[in-house]
Amino acid sequence: MSEDAPAPETKVPAAVAAEWLEPFLDFLAKERRYSAYTVRNYRQAFEDFYLWAQTGARGRADGFAGFTTADMRGFVIEGQRRFSRRTLHNHVSGLRAFFRYWQRRGRLARNPFTGVPLPKLGRTLPKFLTETQVATLLAGPQKLLERGEADKFTAWRDRLVLELLYGGGLRVSELVGLNYGAIDFGTGSARVLGKGRKERICPLGAVAMAVLQKFRDEFAPDPKPPHPVLVTARGDRLSVRAVQLIVKRYLALADLPMDLSPHKLRHSYATHLLNSGADLRAVQELLGHANLATTQIYTHTSVARLKEIYAKAHPRA
């Protein structure tokens, strides 16, 4: 089975996709440098909106130019019966960007999503693994190698995936985009291109660097500066989907919840730093968050953990 996910099948007529959707998605991928995951989600948002617009009396003779703010309020109201609030917010974000793109290019006079209210999102604490759980997860590739259930290349490559996700707090898109030229083996850090094409320096940790050096020296097909760090057995760059499957494999091996994603290792990285006394601003820089408020959600997790410890240990709790 290929490690790359198949291209999604569009639910939109080819002529509509070619005229309206594909130029917008190309702009997101090539100029805005959005991740493939975000581009895929925006495609799904457009397809859902298009199908919604074709049902009942919602179709407009003048196409996308005919939609009003009232129409979009109806879309949001109806969407609340079909999607979670988070998914609905993500869909509307993509559709706002779509209409804004064509408005700025003169094909649409207005953005009908402007001013459309959305249901409030509940504040949920991010899921994360304990330090013991992370250690068990990261030991998985070596365990399979010792059992003879994985070859050396796969075991060390998979261990490198897990160590970089946790040791560097990388997003999956940042991980698969990492090239050898971005690694500073002297300082044990990497130049990472994150969201919004913002570059930051990420310390990777001594363990991750040791695994990276071994993989480079013994298994990398061609560790020249422009070449990817994480590759398939054929030497192709590893895909986001392949990383997701790798993480699922070792979650199952460690008997950990299967709904945990690679991003949860990033959550664990941030939570463990804060639990150990790291400065919030420093963690913000390490994660590449534009706003401190995004990082502060991890302090809530840390406080929840402290309350749990207090409840178990204090005689007056």
- Catalytic residue status for 263: yes
Query: Pick the catalytic residue: 73, 263, 300, 305?
Result: 263
Angle at 73 between CA 71 and CA 78, to 5 degrees: 95
User: Strand, helix or coil at 108?
Assistant: coil
Sequence-separated (6 or more) residues with CB below 8 Å from residue 112: 67, 68, 69, 71, 72, 99
- Catalytic residue status for 264: no
What is the DSSP code string of 285-312? HHHT-SSHHHHHHHHHHHHHHHHHHHHH
Angle at 15 between CA 12 and CA 17, to 5 degrees: 45
Query: Pick the catalytic residue: 266, 267, 269, 272?
Result: 266
Q: How many CA atoms lie within 13 A of 240 on its CB side?
A: 15
Q: In whole angstroms, what is the distance from residue 221 CA to residue 232 CA?
A: 10
- Catalytic residue status for 104: no
Contact 230, 127 (CB under 8 A): no
Q: How buried is residue 162: exposed, middle or buried, by Cβ count under 10 Å (0-12/13-18/19+)?
A: buried
**DSSP-assigned letter for residue 231:** B
Query: Pick the catalytic residue: 171, 264, 267, 272?
Result: 171
Q: In whole angstroms, what is the distance from residue 8 CA to residue 277 CA?
A: 44
Contact 69, 114 (CB under 8 A): yes
Do the strands 199-203 and 183-184 form a parallel or antiparallel pair, or are they unpaired? unpaired
- Catalytic residue status for 33: no
Query: Pick the catalytic residue: 40, 195, 200, 216?
Result: 195
- Catalytic residue status for 197: no
Annotated active-site positions, please? 171, 195, 263, 266, 289, 298
